[in-house]
Amino acid sequence: MLLNCGQPIPLLRHTDVPPRVIENFILTGYRFPNYSLRDCLLSAFRPTNETGNFWTHFLPVFIFSYYFVEVFGWEGAPHGDTPFFYPMWNYFIGVFCLLMASSMAHLLNSMSLVVREVCFFVDYGTISAYTVGSSLAYYYYIHPRAGIVETEGLNGSHMDSKHEPAGVDASSYAIPDFSVFFETFYIPCACVVAIICVLSCCNTRQRWRKHRYVIRTLVFLLPFLVSSTPVFYRLLTRSPYSASSSSFAASTSTSIFFYRHCLWLLVSAIFNISKFPERLAPGCFDIWGHSHQWFHCCTFLSILDELHMIKAEVRAILLSPTLLLPPATLSRLPGPTIASTYGVMLLLQTTIISIIVWFSWHANCIYGPQRDQLAKEHPKKRLKCH
């Protein structure tokens, strides 16, 4: 909030703000929850206890975009609006919305207690949408049958083994017990789990408050396990590419990027639950260096390694032109379509928005009266300049 003389009023201690706003072990740097939109935007350039939280997810939007667009400049890559890249664009949408919603939630949450709740409901929703965006990319680029084209032979259908190791039947790559899951239930399961995560995390803002950080962290472990199933499969079985092919060389880095992706997720979870380092020295990391900023940094590094992993698999497919899967190809894995990518995300987003609207209405019933009371008890101060 700015005074009429153009100077910002002092930030507040944890004893001067509503209990709902207080973060564990953060003692200073608070903004009172009655800022205007303009005041919130200007606070991005002030050292508050939310400034680092904003920038650690806002700046990564540009870093992620820089690495993302590289794939469209590769030799042999189809045009960016072709069906082959539909899953990539859905993945981009998921990551972009996650980073922007997170940064805006931290920047705008001081407008009121109700707005604060809505901001973080949207934040949880975009995290869930991101997991489904990742699942779509995994499904079409890291699926157990990705890049294996089924053609019609004289004796019926068979798998094109031109690029497979000699003497190995293509069907040996797929574990029969998993074929139904991958081809029928994988994407629906990812969507259902994402919806469960939104419901659970939104509930932690209205109940289960004591263990909210542990619950949120554990809840998002489930979509990671479900969406990463194709990667686990790839790591536990042999590559679908011949060991002498350029596609095999391009895909060898997949495991490294995935392990790093998991490592950064683990470190981010530790920061989010432990509240280290501010737990050791309350008040010393209020503005810079507290756990949520490190949590943001680690989650972005995990996303960046995930992007590199997906790009490695995309390059592997592009290096085998005969294995590229357009929608018309008779393959075990149908090519991406608008309905199977954008349609899935649209349906999911509609469901998530409905959940957010319901929780927002409930939050307004709880905090609306408190907002009005706070407006009376703490009117915007206008001090004179001397």
Query: Can you tell me the mean pLDDT for 313-334?
Result: 62
Q: How far apart are CA 46 and CA 95, in angstroms?
A: 26
With 0.85 as the threshold, say if the pTM is over it: yes
- Per the prediction, the chain carries an average pLDDT of 84
* pLDDT number for residue 73: 93
In the annotated binding site for Zn(2+), the residues are: 106, 292, 296
In three-state secondary structure terms, 8 is strand
pLDDT digits (tens, 9 = 90+) for 136-186: 999 999 876 654 444 343 333 333 333 343 333 444 444 556 677 787 899
Q: What is the DSSP letter of 84?
A: G
In the annotated binding site, the residues are: 106, 292, 296
Give the angle 136-141-142 at the CA atoms, nearest 5°: 95
With contact defined as beta carbons under 8 Å apart, do 48 and 31 qualify? Answer: yes
The beta-strand segments (E) located in the chain are 150-153, 156-159
Position 377 pLDDT exceeds 90: no
Torsion angle (degrees, nearest 10) of CA 68, 323, 237, 159: 160
pLDDT digits (tens, 9 = 90+) for 102-125: 999 999 999 999 999 999 999 999
Q: Domain residues of the chain, as ranges?
A: 37-146+177-316+339-384
